[in-house]
Amino acid sequence: MERLQKVIAHGGIASRRKAEELILAGKVKVNGITVKELGIKINPRTDLVEIEGTKIQAMVKPVYYMLNKPRGYVTTARDQFNRLTVLDLLKDVKCRVYPVGRLDYETEGLLLLTNDGELAFKLTHPKNKVDKVYEVLVDGNVSKATLQLLANGVMLDDGKTLPAKAKTLKSWPHQTLVELTIREGRNRQVRKMMAAAGHRVKQLKRTKIDFLELNDLKQGQYRSLTLAEIERLKSL
C-alpha cells in the first residue's frame, strides 16, 4: 500500500506537492469515490485512480533518461506548429516521459526526461538551487566587468537573477565563449542575461546539471541514468 499522492507523483502526472493540492481540491477519485484526505493509502496495482475524470496508470515504472538535445527540437510533448519535439528522438522509449525543465528551440545540450513527477519538481524548483552549466558563444569581447555583472545577478523583466558563476573559456577578435552556471530556470534566462550584458548569443549549449555531464554522448543520443545517478539526484 502506498500514499495516494506518491502514486500520482510516480505516475508522472504531477509532483507530490501538486498531487496533494489536487486531492485537497476534490479533483481525485479512487475507485469512483472522491478522496480529499492526504493520508489515504491505496493499492496501486488494483485501485483505479482518476484525476478530473482522466484515468492514470498508477503503476508506471519510473524511468530516467539523459538526452543530448540538438538544435531544431522543441522541449514539449507536442507542438502546435508540428515542429519536431525531443520525444521524437526517444525511439525506443515505450512509456510516457516528460522533459525536466526546458531548452529552447535553438539551444542544445543536456536534457533530462522522466515520468517521475516528484523528482522533476525537485530539480526544477528554484529553492533547490540545482546548478546548470552552459557554454555560451556570444558576439564581441566579454570584459571582466561583464563577467562580474553576470556573477552578481542581472536585472531582467521578471526581477533580478540569482548570483551566477561566469568565466571566459576562449576568446577571438569578435566573439567569446563563456561558461555560465545558473541555479534558476527562467524562460530563455541565459539569452536574456547575456543580452542585458550587451552581448548577443550565437550558440548555446547546456553541458551539466549538477554532477551530470554529457561526456561522450553525441547529439541526438540518449541513455538511461544509472541507479547511482538516480539516487544521487534524489538526494540533492
Residue range(s) in the chain whose domain bears CATH number 3.30.70.1560: 131-209
Q: What DSSP state is assigned to residue 24? A: H
Distance CA 219, CA 221 (A): 5
Residue 104, pLDDT score? 94
User: How many C-beta atoms surround the C-beta of residue 187 within 10 A?
Assistant: 10
Query: Among 3.30.70.1560, 3.30.43.10, 3.30.1180.20, 3.40.50.970, what is the CATH number of 131-209?
Result: 3.30.70.1560
- For cell 568565466, name the residue: 167
Residue 183, pLDDT score? 93
- The three cell numbers locating residue 125: 524548483
Reply yes or no on whether the pLDDT at 195 is more than 70. Answer: yes
* Catalytically annotated residue among 47, 79, 104, 139: 104
Residue range(s) in the chain whose domain bears CATH number 3.30.70.580: 64-117+212-234
Distance CA 153, CA 192 (A): 12
Between 123 and 57, residue with greater pLDDT: 123
User: In the structure, what pLDDT confidence band is assigned to residue 57 with cuts at 50, 70 and 90?
Assistant: low
- The three cell numbers locating residue 97: 516521459
User: In the structure, what pLDDT confidence band is assigned to residue 42 with cuts at 50, 70 and 90?
Assistant: confident
Residue 103, pLDDT score? 95
Question: 91 with 222: CB under 8 angstroms?
Answer: no
Identity of the amino acid at 74 = V
CATH number of the domain at 2-55, please?
3.10.290.10
Q: Assess whether 216 carries a catalytic annotation.
A: no
For the segment 143-159, the average pLDDT, to the nearest whole number, is 95
CATH 3.40.50.300 fits 64-117+212-234, yes or no: no
Model confidence over 104-148: pLDDT tens digits? 999 999 999 998 888 888 898 878 889 999 999 999 999 999 999
Residue range(s) in the chain whose domain bears CATH number 3.10.290.10: 2-55
Reply yes or no on whether the pLDDT at 13 is more than 80. Answer: no
Triad 104, 109, 110: Cα angle to 5°: 105
User: In the structure, what pLDDT confidence band is assigned to residue 11 with cuts at 50, 70 and 90?
Assistant: low
Question: 95 with 115: CB under 8 angstroms?
Answer: yes
